[in-house]
Structure 1
């Protein structure tokens, strides 16, 4: 097999630390968290103490100032474990990154140290009942009132929604300006007028709290604005490639992991006086899936390299997200088939992986949106080169 060469000894030592943390602090309790629909806040504090949160945050804001690969290690090991309750990826890769990249000194000094320690949990408030992938169509309003803005509206499908202390919230400050009317705010959830809706019951990822959020004339100071007024859509577009890369990293890792434990199961399970793995159909199917997983991993690792150089563009990120999401769902579906009836039992990791997988074709931009991004660029390139 092709050997990965992204990581050095420090990354691998950190990987061992993350695996031990998962084995001790998550594995024994995750089934209960799935039943509860949420993980305890204490887990976040423990993860912060272990150095697993927001690895890239600079030291002056309480972080370790490490490279992006340390965050990748956390994302990969959480994906490999199959435990989807802790919403670390949203917290670290999105919310903290927005604040680090676009926040004022006061905003960074206030929120980032708490997020590194797990004392403040971050959430991204973009999706609305009538606006999913089309973010410029959001209806949540932020109306200026002197030195403040008054926010009213609703968000839905918000990961970390039951626990979050700070939300990167997308609003409309000018409802007639389309994308140029979108503005981001850092909203403290302790403010009057903020209300959490019910914890939504989902097909998969049952341990991760996902909520409706309501804003009833929530008054925030103008200093809570993230970036400038009307710049929100532009800021979101600059971070979507990173979000889609993270999705691809998770899908690549889950695909590899599911194939590994399907090989182990079929090599032991017997039918018709031989193991399932002895059947040619099984070997052919596993060979196809493994080959696609290796190809997907190489593409993902290349995208990580490009991202760390500041060279990952929106089209490459969209291709990674689209291809790896499709592969992720294909692998869990075809591997579950090789488990037979046991694959449908929740006690088997393949059943959880199957239920957890379906969201990857939707979250971070649907597969259809990814195709539009890629196809539009192909047409634009053709017209440019043949003008």
Structure 2
């Protein structure tokens, strides 16, 4: 079965019937995520070597755009997931890549922070006040990450911090959502489509193994600029275009699920 056919089936049988609950009650679309995983769409961009679909950004854009026509919240979750997977695919562990390919792992981005000024969401991804301190094989990360999609719902976060020892740049980490001392408020924030569980994630600190680093120490800025941000901008543009088309089709009426398309 092609990914287009698989997506059509999930949109028709799972996402469309539950969009009212997601959009009105703000309930995270867990059933949609599970169905997307089973259909191979969470692993769409993972290498075939690990059981994924082996597809790239154009196919991910198509999936997000078609999903946004039906459910903006689910589209926002896919935006953050695919952008995070782009980094994981290049620098993550074989086990995580296999879990994503198998549809059992939802990833998200935890990059934007307080105190990074008014430059806009994209600029906020390039600066980090998150502190990383290593002790043996363990790294302690302290931060308050904002606009995290699927906060408390994802299985891992691509997380940015200041470098451990490098003089400048960022360092990226794969932070498991089950790691002790990660805290997500019970009520999601106002950013992001209603139902996307976009909120703040606190770490004070969260402990991760040193080998959770994605790429080299200080090399995260290059990864964000060359990989994460291009994916995020393309995916967000696709979702945003569909949201505007939906508004036009509805005669310009404003619906809460399409109020915001903030990615992380």
TM-score between both structures, scaled by the size of structure 2: 0.85
Instruction: Give the corresponding residue for 2:156.
Output: 166
Instruction: Give the corresponding residue for 1:233.
Output: 221
Instruction: Give the corresponding residue for 1:209.
Output: 197
Q: Distance in 2 between matches of 1:129 and 1:67?
A: 32
Query: Which one of 95, 110, 113 corresponds to residue 98 of structure 2?
Result: 113
Does residue 95 in structure 1 map to residue 84 in structure 2?
yes
Q: List per-residue Cα deviations over 1:31-72 (Å, max 9, x = no partner).
A: 222344332534322211112223121122121223443323
Once the two structures are TM-superposed, the CA of residue 147 in structure 1 deviates from its matched residue by: 2.2
Does residue 221 in structure 1 map to residue 214 in structure 2?
no
Once the two structures are TM-superposed, the CA of residue 91 in structure 1 deviates from its matched residue by: 0.9
User: Residues 224, 217 of structure 1: CA spacing in aligned structure 2 closer, same or farther, 3 A cutoff?
Assistant: same
| Structure 1 vs Structure 2 CA RMSD | 2.6
Q: List per-residue Cα deviations over 1:230-275 (Å, max 9, x = no partner).
A: 111121111212211112222333344444x25xxxxxxxxxxxxx
| C-alpha contact (below 8 Å) 2:137/2:209 kept by paired residues | yes
Once the two structures are TM-superposed, the CA of residue 114 in structure 1 deviates from its matched residue by: 1.7
SS at match of 1:96: helix
SS at match of 1:209: coil
Once the two structures are TM-superposed, the CA of residue 151 in structure 1 deviates from its matched residue by: 1.1
User: Residues 208, 135 of structure 1: CA spacing in aligned structure 2 closer, same or farther, 3 A cutoff?
Assistant: closer
User: Residues 70, 148 of structure 1: CA spacing in aligned structure 2 closer, same or farther, 3 A cutoff?
Assistant: same
SS at match of 1:124: strand
Once the two structures are TM-superposed, the CA of residue 356 in structure 1 deviates from its matched residue by: 4.7
Q: Distance in 2 between matches of 1:30 and 1:256?
A: 17
Instruction: Give the corresponding residue for 1:182.
Output: 170
User: Residues 170, 187 of structure 1: CA spacing in aligned structure 2 closer, same or farther, 3 A cutoff?
Assistant: same
Q: List per-residue Cα deviations over 1:268-287 (Å, max 9, x = no partner).
A: xxxxxxxxxxxxxxxxxxxx
| C-alpha contact (below 8 Å) 1:161/1:196 kept by paired residues | yes
- Which structure has the higher relative contact order (CA within 8 Å, separation 6+)? 2
Higher-Rg structure is 1
Q: Distance in 2 between matches of 1:228 and 1:255?
A: 40
Q: Which moves more between the two structures, 157-166 or 28-37?
A: 28-37
Instruction: Give the corresponding residue for 2:239.
Output: 250
SS at match of 1:123: strand
Q: Distance in 1 between matches of 2:221 and 2:114?
A: 18
Equivalent residues, number: 257
Instruction: Give the corresponding residue for 2:187.
Output: 199
Gaps (5+ residues) in structure 2? none
Q: Any residues of structure 2 matched to 1:322-333 within 5 Å, and which? A: none
Gaps (5+ residues) in structure 1? 1-9, 263-334, 337-342, 344-350, 365-387
Query: Which one of 254, 260, 263 corresponds to residue 359 of structure 1?
Result: 260
Q: List per-residue Cα deviations over 1:275-333 (Å, max 9, x = no partner).
A: xxxxxxxxxxxxxxxxxxxxxxxxxxxxxxxxxxxxxxxxxxxxxxxxxxxxxxxxxxx
User: Residues 70, 210 of structure 1: CA spacing in aligned structure 2 closer, same or farther, 3 A cutoff?
Assistant: same
Q: Distance in 1 between matches of 2:155 and 2:40?
A: 20
Once the two structures are TM-superposed, the CA of residue 217 in structure 1 deviates from its matched residue by: 2.5
Q: Distance in 2 between matches of 1:49 and 1:147?
A: 35
| C-alpha contact (below 8 Å) 2:184/2:200 kept by paired residues | yes
Q: Any residues of structure 2 matched to 1:329-340 within 5 Å, and which? A: 335-336=251-252
Does residue 60 in structure 1 map to residue 49 in structure 2?
yes
**Structure having the larger proportion of residues in helix:** 1
User: Residues 235, 174 of structure 1: CA spacing in aligned structure 2 closer, same or farther, 3 A cutoff?
Assistant: same
